[in-house]
């Protein structure tokens, strides 16, 4: 059985979305456009034009629907390995994820600063 693609923006499984993805396909959960470079197995931020397919035409906005004929939906579209590595590196530098940090009372901080 093939891997079920997930939305590149919210990560929801796209088991009910027909493949190959239609040009105007949208995520049922977040309504993000799905026929985008970020959904494609050829998407690679380490490559020129962020694409491993040498015959594909360049697409400027990787998160907007396009007419690329080479698009093949991938199951790990929600987070690319390079993004995960970058996020992990930042978290190690700054001591954890931003969600784990305590909320700051900005009004109190300003009052403390300016009296």
Tens of pLDDT, residues 5-63: 999 999 999 999 999 999 999 999 999 999 999 999 999 988 989 999 999 999 999 99
pLDDT of residue 115: 78
pLDDT of residue 3: 82
pLDDT of residue 1: 42
The pair of structure tokens assigned to 77 is 């579209």
Q: What is the dihedral of CA 86, 52, 32, 8, to 10 degrees?
A: -40
106 part of a folded domain = no
pLDDT of residue 21: 94
Helix, coil or strand: residue 68: coil
pLDDT of residue 32: 94
80 part of a folded domain = yes
Measured CA to CA, the distance from residue 19 to residue 30 in angstroms comes to 18
Question: Rounded to 5 degrees, what are φ and ψ at 99?
Answer: -65, -25
Measured CA to CA, the distance from residue 19 to residue 8 in angstroms comes to 15
38 part of a folded domain = yes
- The number of folded domains in the chain is 1
109 part of a folded domain = no
Residue 84 clears pLDDT 70, i.e. is over it: no
115 part of a folded domain = no
The pair of structure tokens assigned to 59 is 């697409």
Residue 79 clears pLDDT 80, i.e. is over it: no
112 part of a folded domain = no
Q: Structural domain of residue 59, as residue ranges?
A: 1-100
108 part of a folded domain = no
111 part of a folded domain = no
Confidence of residue 108 (pLDDT cuts 50, 70, 90): confident
pLDDT of residue 17: 93
């Amino acid at each position: 059985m093939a891997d079920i693609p997930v939305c590149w923006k919210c990560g929801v499984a796209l088991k009910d979305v027909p493949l190959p993805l239609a040009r105007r396909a949208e995520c049922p959960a977040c309504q993000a456009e799905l026929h985008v470079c970020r959904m494609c197995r050829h998407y690679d931020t380490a490559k020129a034009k962020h694409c491993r397919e040498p015959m594909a035409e360049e697409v400027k906005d990787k998160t907007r629907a396009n007419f690329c004929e080479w698009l093949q939906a991938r199951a790990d579209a929600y987070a690319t390995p390079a993004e995960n590595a970058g996020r992990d590196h930042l978290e190690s530098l700054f001591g954890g994820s931003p969600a784990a940090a305590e909320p700051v009372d900005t009004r109190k901080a300003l009052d403390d600063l300016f009296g």
